[in-house]
């Protein structure tokens, strides 16, 4: 048994269906403080559905989800859980909102746009932008940034409320291998140095196993949940690595992802 005081998220016998389609079948999973979890599975395997349940967005599930010991249905401290969606609303050039304003929304929702921000708020926005190397862009219109830059701003928006957990849904889709690698390195740094717990949702098994400490493999059922080493020693590494974009790193750990 794991030490329950260290458990941040517990999922017990979770099942979920859309209409007639069973999407999640009896999922059991524990995530501890300080874990860096790669949640992997092919397209359509239920990853986004699981994340939506974890975020309290789907409530019609069977089984139990607990954050910090509290059933998700009664959990109210959502600012502790940062989330960056894959399809984070991309802003087009016509939408007049600045980088700074988007990050401010992470503090007070849309009120962050209108609200008087105190010195501490401003300091937090400053730090969040610094963490993603976007401070120099704070006055820029979101619509003028590239997709990758916008995504860094969305990460700053998630970080500004100082979450204990950050859930990232397919953050490296459409990003070149070198940028993906430096992004994973940054996540790993936040995990080790700031103790932030990370859940990285991805179908990119090859690249992320260099960085994550735990792996969960989902395909309607949870086929594997354990340490990265156990995953690499299992035959699932082959199965889940199949048919997805893999950055080869079988030679050594310094092979560079590109």
- Whether 154 and 137 have beta carbons less than 8 Å apart is answered as no
HSE, side-chain direction, 13 A CA sphere, residue 161:
23
User: How far apart are CB 169 and ligand ADP at their closest, in Å?
Assistant: 8
- 27-46 binders of ligand ADP (CB under 6 A): 41, 43-46
User: How far apart are CB 54 and ligand ADP at their closest, in Å?
Assistant: 12
Q: Which one among 32, 48, 98, 221 touches ligand ADP, defined by CB under 6 A?
A: 48
95 touches ligand ADP by CB under 6 A: no
Nearest residue (CB) to ligand ADP, 57 versus 258: 57
User: How far apart are CB 86 and ligand ADP at their closest, in Å?
Assistant: 9
Distance CA 8, CA 33 (A): 6
202 touches ligand ADP by CB under 6 A: no
Distance CA 84, CA 170 (A): 9
214 touches ligand ADP by CB under 6 A: no
Indicate the SS3 state at residue 140.
coil
User: How far apart are CB 190 and ligand ADP at their closest, in Å?
Assistant: 24
Size of the site for ligand ADP (CB under 6 A): 11
Torsion of CA 31, 37, 43, 47, to 10 degrees: 20
Strand 197-202 and strand 62-67: pairing?
Answer: unpaired
């Amino acid at each position: 048994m794991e030490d329950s005081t260290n458990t941040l998220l517990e999922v017990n016998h979770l099942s979920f269906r859309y209409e007639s389609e069973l999407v999640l079948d009896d999922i059991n999973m524990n995530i501890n403080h300080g874990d860096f979890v790669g949640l992997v599975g092919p397209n359509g395997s239920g990853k986004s559905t699981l994340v939506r349940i974890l975020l309290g967005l789907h409530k019609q599930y069977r089984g139990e989800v607990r954050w910090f010991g509290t059933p998700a249905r009664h959990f109210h401290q959502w600012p502790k859980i940062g989330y960056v969606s894959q399809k984070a609303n991309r802003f087009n050039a016509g939408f007049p909102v600045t980088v700074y304003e988007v990050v401010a929304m992470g503090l007070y929702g849309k009120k962050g746009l209108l609200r008087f921000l105190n010195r501490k708020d401003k300091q937090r926005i400053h730090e969040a932008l610094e963490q993603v190397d976007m401070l120099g862009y704070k006055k820029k219109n979101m619509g003028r940034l590239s997709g990758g830059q916008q995504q860094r701003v969305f990460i700053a928006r998630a970080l500004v409320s100082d979450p204990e957990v950050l859930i990232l849904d397919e953050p490296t889709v459409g990003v070149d291998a070198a940028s993906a690698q430096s992004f994973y390195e940054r996540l790993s740094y936040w995990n080790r140095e700031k103790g932030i717990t990370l859940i990285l949702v991805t179908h990119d098994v090859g690249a992320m196993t260099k960085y994550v400490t735990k792996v969960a493999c989902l395909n309607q059922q949870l086929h594997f949940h354990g340490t990265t080493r156990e995953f690499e020693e299992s035959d699932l590494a082959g199965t889940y690595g199949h048919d997805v974009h893999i950055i080869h790193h079988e030679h050594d750990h310094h092979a560079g992802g590109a």
